[in-house]
């Protein structure tokens, strides 16, 4: 039997229906991401790549992509 990922969502997301959000599931050497309203589509990345992406969002390094 394959263990199901332990999906986590932000504490800022409500528990009610319609509160869609990005969910994360940590693995030993990767991080899974999915949108709660389309849970069948899963993106896999590394912890380092996710940290760099979040850093770039926080610092505005991706603002030119708007």
Please report whether residue 2 resides in a domain: no
Domain count, the chain: 1
pLDDT at 17: 62
Please report whether residue 31 resides in a domain: yes
- The domain in which residue 26 lies consists of 21-65
Please report whether residue 29 resides in a domain: yes
Average pLDDT over residues 49-57: 96
- Asked if residue 32 lies in contact with residue 43, where contact means CB atoms within 8 angstroms, the answer is yes
Range in 15-19, 36-40, 41-45, 56-60 the model is least confident about? 15-19
Please report whether residue 15 resides in a domain: no
Please report whether residue 27 resides in a domain: yes
Backbone angle region of 51, left / alpha / beta, with phi > 0 → left and psi within -120 to 50 → alpha = alpha
Angle, vertex CA 39, rays to CA 50 and CA 15, nearest 5: 90
* pLDDT of residue 31 exceeding 90: yes
What mean pLDDT is reported for the chain?
A: 89
Please report whether residue 52 resides in a domain: yes
* pLDDT of residue 35 exceeding 70: yes
pLDDT at 11: 76
């Amino acid at each position: 039997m394959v263990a199901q990922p332990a999906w986590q969502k932000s504490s800022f997301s409500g528990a009610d229906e319609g509160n869609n959000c990005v969910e994360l599931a940590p693995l030993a050497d990767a991080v899974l991401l999915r949108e709660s309203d389309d849970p069948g589509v899963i993106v896999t990345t590394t912890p380092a790549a996710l940290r760099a992406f979040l850093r770039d969002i926080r610092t505005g390094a991706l603002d030119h992509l708007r």
